[in-house]
Chains A and B, each alone.
Chain A
């Protein structure tokens, strides 16, 4: 935010060097203790319950709980496996497209140097990135569904347009993923100093060479971070897909909802927990790729 302030900002470089030299004693973690306790309670307990439920079975008659790999095994078979694959496919595809388009829009906003455009784009992105769930699904049904306004006007039906398919769902997801990418990459693009570009130009580099050797390498972790965020958002989305495609595009979140809170299948709760565990593992894998890269170039972008 560009609110006018009367106190002078501490200069970035001086601040950086002093923080790096701060004392790393045994007492520093003590200050973080409340946070650690909070994390342990609010994330640890549910996670523990999830893992416990995923690997145990309680006999309804005798009430005896025993260890079993049955739920996890079932969560990796048949339609459950299909839903995991479907979710990963949809999330990777939409996160890739969303990341590319989001960066292009963010770059346009940053280079335009128009303050009006910038605040308008950022405000709109902030709103749209949080527009999801059933309202979004219904908005799309009303505009791009079979009897939707745009479908009728543009005669999309003859072009084989189908909102209730994998492609349709991807378009709906991009509606909130692209603004999300714009939001997270504008600060990174701002951090790309004009001096670097000027220096490259003075040394005779073409714009392409500047991006190839300076711009993209510096931005890479931020872009990857944006991709990971988009992947996670798409991976965890549920309500929009539930209202739009029901069971015809297999997604893991829909399967969990079916098993956990349905009116049809009984006794599937533990398989749902096992599916949740699978989701955590997949998200963990993605994060494991991202974190080392993020650390590598964070130093360029302070």
Chain B
């Protein structure tokens, strides 16, 4: 780079000083108005409109300059790309991603233990039970995104304290190179040819997807949302016949062939199929027709979010067409998928790659879910040991 002559340097320096001075003068009076739009305070804003519109929200969020997220694994439902896309769209907001592999209870614990601190998480991606219990404890700020009306009524809290974001169906992943005929239903799994092959993604008293697997097995065996016992019995039977192996299925065990049949969310199983294609694993995904069970995760805003405007902007981004399609790209089914299929904004290429399933999903009520969990916690050990 050519060195500027003495005079040009002086002019440049003067200009720089002037800019700095005006910037400093301009910043000071803004301070008291931070995080406030035309409609008022971001902390209490219940919608973008109430805050004065999305543009005010963007301005307030950029002033905050940061967003704390927690428990968002980059390789889960395409979260890595979603975070990058948000940062690209709002370059003035930096996302601080904490503990990507945390669980829902870790998230709630972080909200409680860091109340009033700058490091507290702004937004949460929670298992449905934690969204409900957290809302009851008054931990979340009510906020309705612009797409609020298009979220099905069964998948949101009426007050907007939480609403579902994305989800998937319990599916059976299968290594077609090691298993000659891949199982298509829960009933198939009992066949002797699958001895020592069927795994869950962890322990159902801890892992949400394993819990979903037991729930689906219950539905496949004359159980219901309130009656999970047939599902526990089913896995007890699988264990007795030697088909069930209790090792937690992970990308490593899938690739190694140890868990050649893995019951897991369809978006994870479909992701494995991509991930392992070039490693010689032919991973097939089937949604069992006898036990169709879908479960969604929920989004919520921390009531004491240190960056309330950025938190609300993040929500608007997630529930925008762009955000929803990014989840879809990760094989997850975004909550607005039915609405977006109707109005044609869903990315057809991504939709075509989703595992096929018939009908619309049904969801257990809070009381049913609680009962199922209590039964599972009480009976699982005995059935499996």
> Bound complex: CA of A85 vs CA of B50, how far in Å?
57
Shortest CB distance A257–B (Å): 7
A248 part of interface (Cβ distance < 8 Å)? yes
Partner of A264, one of B204, B247, B250, B257: B204
**Residues 229-274 of A at the B interface (beta carbon under 8 Å):** 242-250, 254, 257-258, 260-267, 269
B74 part of interface (Cβ distance < 8 Å)? no
Partner of B385, one of A138, A248, A257: A248
> Bound complex: CA of A49 vs CA of B4, how far in Å?
65
Partner of A247, one of B246, B253, B378: B246
> Bound complex: CA of A265 vs CA of B376, how far in Å?
10
B378 surroundings in chain A (CB, below 8 A): 78-79
**Interface hit among A141-149, A173-181, A288-296:** A141-149
B133 surroundings in chain A (CB, below 8 A): 60, 266-267
**Residues 97-137 of B at the A interface (beta carbon under 8 Å):** 102-106, 109, 127, 129-130, 133, 136-137
Shortest CB distance B208–A (Å): 4
Q: CB-CB contacts of B145-181 with A at 8 A, as 1s and 0s?
A: 0000000000000000000000000000000001000
> Bound complex: CA of A60 vs CA of B137, how far in Å?
5
Shortest CB distance B41–A (Å): 24
A263 surroundings in chain B (CB, below 8 A): 103-105, 127, 130, 206-208, 211
Interface of A is mostly: loop
A82 surroundings in chain B (CB, below 8 A): 381-382
B247 surroundings in chain A (CB, below 8 A): 141, 145, 163-164, 243-246
Shortest CB distance B297–A (Å): 9
Q: Is the CB of A164 within 8 A of B245?
A: yes
Q: Is the CB of A246 within 8 A of B203?
A: yes
A257, closest chain B residue (CB): B206
Q: Is the CB of B380 within 8 A of A264?
A: no
A148 surroundings in chain B (CB, below 8 A): 258
* Contacts between the two chains (Cβ within 8 Å), count: 121
> Bound complex: CA of A177 vs CA of B241, how far in Å?
32
A164 surroundings in chain B (CB, below 8 A): 245-247
B35 surroundings in chain A (CB, below 8 A): none
Q: Is the CB of B204 within 8 A of A146?
A: no
A191 part of interface (Cβ distance < 8 Å)? no
B200 surroundings in chain A (CB, below 8 A): 246
Q: Is the CB of A260 within 8 A of B381?
A: no
Q: Is the CB of A245 within 8 A of B208?
A: no
Q: Is the CB of A264 within 8 A of B385?
A: no
Most buried by B among A83, A164, A243, A266: A266
> Bound complex: CA of A79 vs CA of B250, how far in Å?
26
B13 part of interface (Cβ distance < 8 Å)? no
Please judge, given known A-B contacts A145-B258, A147-B260, A243-B248, whether A248 and B127 are in contact too, CB under 8 Å: no
Q: Is the CB of B205 within 8 A of A250?
A: no
A16 part of interface (Cβ distance < 8 Å)? no
> Bound complex: CA of A254 vs CA of B246, how far in Å?
13
Shortest CB distance A63–B (Å): 10
Q: Is the CB of B136 within 8 A of A146?
A: no
> Bound complex: CA of A138 vs CA of B205, how far in Å?
22
B178, closest chain A residue (CB): A147
A250 surroundings in chain B (CB, below 8 A): 381, 385
A60 surroundings in chain B (CB, below 8 A): 133, 136-137
> Bound complex: CA of A136 vs CA of B47, how far in Å?
50
Partner of A248, one of B102, B196, B239: B239
B252 part of interface (Cβ distance < 8 Å)? yes
Q: Is the CB of B203 within 8 A of A261?
A: no
> Bound complex: CA of A285 vs CA of B100, how far in Å?
39
> Bound complex: CA of A263 vs CA of B107, how far in Å?
10
B354 part of interface (Cβ distance < 8 Å)? no
Please judge, given known A-B contacts A245-B247, A249-B385, whether A266 and B258 are in contact too, CB under 8 Å: no
Q: Is the CB of B105 within 8 A of A269?
A: yes
A44 part of interface (Cβ distance < 8 Å)? no
B384 part of interface (Cβ distance < 8 Å)? yes
> Bound complex: CA of A237 vs CA of B246, how far in Å?
18
Q: Is the CB of A266 within 8 A of B130?
A: yes
> Bound complex: CA of A257 vs CA of B248, how far in Å?
15
B89 part of interface (Cβ distance < 8 Å)? no
> Bound complex: CA of A47 vs CA of B136, how far in Å?
29
> Bound complex: CA of A260 vs CA of B104, how far in Å?
10
Q: Is the CB of A142 within 8 A of B256?
A: yes
Shortest CB distance B299–A (Å): 15
A187 part of interface (Cβ distance < 8 Å)? no
> Bound complex: CA of A282 vs CA of B28, how far in Å?
61
A284 part of interface (Cβ distance < 8 Å)? no
Shortest CB distance A53–B (Å): 12
**Residues 308-360 of B at the A interface (beta carbon under 8 Å):** none
Q: Is the CB of B207 within 8 A of A262?
A: yes
A157 part of interface (Cβ distance < 8 Å)? yes
Partner of A147, one of B103, B130, B258: B258
Q: Is the CB of B257 within 8 A of A147?
A: yes
**Residues 55-95 of B at the A interface (beta carbon under 8 Å):** none
Q: Is the CB of A245 within 8 A of B129?
A: no
Q: Is the CB of B105 within 8 A of A261?
A: yes
> Bound complex: CA of A285 vs CA of B385, how far in Å?
28
Please judge, given known A-B contacts A248-B385, A262-B103, whether A141 and B253 are in contact too, CB under 8 Å: yes
Q: Is the CB of A260 within 8 A of B248?
A: no
**Residues 125-179 of A at the B interface (beta carbon under 8 Å):** 138, 141-142, 145-148, 157, 163-164
B260 surroundings in chain A (CB, below 8 A): 147
Q: Is the CB of B196 within 8 A of A262?
A: no
Q: CB-CB contacts of A68-100 with B at 8 A, as 1s and 0s?
A: 000000000011001100000000000000000
Shortest CB distance A79–B (Å): 5
Q: List 24 A-B contacts (CB under 8 A).
A: A60-B137, A82-B381, A82-B382, A83-B381, A146-B258, A147-B257, A242-B248, A243-B247, A246-B200, A246-B202, A246-B246, A247-B381, A250-B381, A254-B203, A261-B106, A261-B109, A262-B103, A262-B205, A263-B105, A264-B127, A264-B129, A264-B373, A266-B105, A269-B105
Nearest 4 Cβ contacts at the A-B interface: A247-B203, A263-B208, A248-B246, A262-B206
Chain B residues with CB under 8 Å of chain A are 102-106, 109, 127, 129-130, 133, 136-137, 178, 196-197, 200, 202-208, 210-211, 239, 245-248, 250, 252-253, 256-258, 260, 373, 376-378, 380-382, 384-385
